Structure 1
């Protein structure tokens, strides 16, 4: 059964492999260009690609689950581009994959930002040396607030943040904040506070209680010492959120593991409804099956 919602005006190359429950808006173009027999375009589940976004693929384009690509983006996987899970890209953002672009999980890129993997200007025959293709790597949970520019060949450290209008010309350190042109580290600024597993579980409990208030005709919540169980009364399904480290790799059971932020993906109605409530800025999890575990 095809569960994707694709606007009739969208143009998608027949070799593009789409997962399930994706939403593709008006005038979206996903095109494979050229005659490269190794060109790959795989898009996972539960992604949103909004109106007028253009994706021109020459090489490899791999996208995970639960990503949002806003309006009017330009995405160019000339060499390769890999995007993980739970990422968000603002409108009019440019992603260049000429030299290879690797984007981790939970990355947030504000509108009008540009991420580059190549530079080219004058003629090489005239002696111009301003020409290079270099891989850019953006690690998990990086946040580019908006109108940021990232140069080619740069590695952005996990959970590093660049404030609005930052021009990033050098690698960034994990868990540090940057601003300016060129971007410089902001001393004494930190956007993450330490949380214990019990504190995280208590936060999930509060959020699930909020979820039940909104969906009280459909879901019922059971609170135990180490897990939260949500029952879907209409679909005869349940979803478990647990702080236990014992994994049950059962493809039929939706279980979210708090200790390492992974989950058994079933794509059930209940799972997608609950995760949609959580994944924006509350809590993000990585599907176990997509990790090959």
Structure 2
């Protein structure tokens, strides 16, 4: 692990799996700061060459992915980064909670190569900001844009402009097609979410066959803050983290497509 992780300040969570062929370090020696949340998976031949990098709980970085840059790269909870993805943080990069980046995608925060002495007009870096629940479905190429929460790009999209809340984009250059096909998310009521989460819990109980310390509530004011229980609050999508074995198993049961929750007061903005 020492050879894999080269950092002056290292914060690594519980139950983290890092393949022995992965490399996590700074651009020229040790990274200044590396923070890896609980239950994170980092696959074979992943290279994270970044001076300041963090990733949240239950996130997964699949094999042969490259993340690099001298400005901070922040990836939230429950992220799925598909194989052979490139994430560039030379201009800085923030990827919010619950985001998916499909295989072979490229997220770029800079454009540099041409000789500026000769008058090349293309030499810029700009922070990329990806909101929560954003999904790049695969083989997407993304410029340093702002992608609003719940926006989505279909397979093979080339995204050069900002993406609006909950709209779906496609093409090269990508344009919104939501008026034709709809939106990534249809809003459910709190009652609908509550009923569905309880159904998921019943399915989990059936598979698990044991007592548990999980409670589903609609709103924060319904939590009694008993330290024994893990509360899942469907209104805000927060949960009170206890890190119990059954909580971890239930989170893995929910991810990636049933439900995504983040710890109270610990989400990536």
Instruction: Establish whether TM, by shorter chain, passes 0.5.
Output: yes
CA contact (8 A) 1:42 1:62 kept: yes
| 1:23-50 alpha-carbon deviations (Å, 9 max, x no partner) | 11130111123378x9211111111111
Task: State the distance in 2 between where 1:80 and 1:14 align.
Answer: 14
TM-score, reference length from structure 2? 0.92
Partner of 1:105: 97
Structure 2 SS opposite 1:164: coil
TM-score, reference length from structure 1? 0.85
Change (3 A) 1:252 1:210: closer
Q: Which residue of 49, 54, 60 maps to 1:56?
A: 49
CA contact (8 A) 1:72 1:93 kept: yes
Which of the pair has the greater relative contact order for Cα pairs under 8 Å at 6+ separation? 2
* Residue 212 of structure 1: how far off its partner (Å): 1.8
Does 2:16 align with 1:28? no
CA contact (8 A) 1:20 1:45 kept: yes
Question: Which runs of 5 or more residues in structure 1 are unaligned?
Answer: 1-5, 220-230, 233-237
Does 2:132 align with 1:156? no
Partner of 1:275: 251
Change (3 A) 1:100 1:143: same
| 1:57-78 alpha-carbon deviations (Å, 9 max, x no partner) | 22x2121111010010001132
CA contact (8 A) 2:7 2:33 kept: no
CA contact (8 A) 1:264 1:289 kept: no
CA contact (8 A) 2:107 2:143 kept: yes
Task: State the distance in 1 between where 2:62 and 2:40 align.
Answer: 11
Partner of 2:169: 178
| 1:135-157 alpha-carbon deviations (Å, 9 max, x no partner) | 011000111010000012x1011
Task: State the distance in 2 between where 1:206 and 1:252 align.
Answer: 22
Structure 2 SS opposite 1:188: helix
Task: State the distance in 2 between where 1:29 and 1:133 align.
Answer: 25
- What is the count of residue pairs matched by the alignment? 264
Which is worse superposed, 195-204 or 246-255? 246-255
Task: State the distance in 2 between where 1:253 and 1:215 align.
Answer: 17
CA contact (8 A) 1:73 1:91 kept: yes
| 1:207-239 alpha-carbon deviations (Å, 9 max, x no partner) | 2221122112xx2xxxxxxxxxxx33xxxxx12
Question: Which runs of 5 or more residues in structure 2 are unaligned?
Answer: none
Does 2:134 align with 1:142? yes
Partner of 1:169: 160
Structure 2 SS opposite 1:255: strand
Partner of 2:67: 75
Task: Say what the alpha-carbon RMSD is for the aligned residues.
Answer: 2.0
* Residue 12 of structure 1: how far off its partner (Å): 1.4
Task: State the distance in 2 between where 1:122 and 1:29 align.
Answer: 30
* Residue 179 of structure 1: how far off its partner (Å): 0.4
Task: State the distance in 2 between where 1:155 and 1:164 align.
Answer: 19
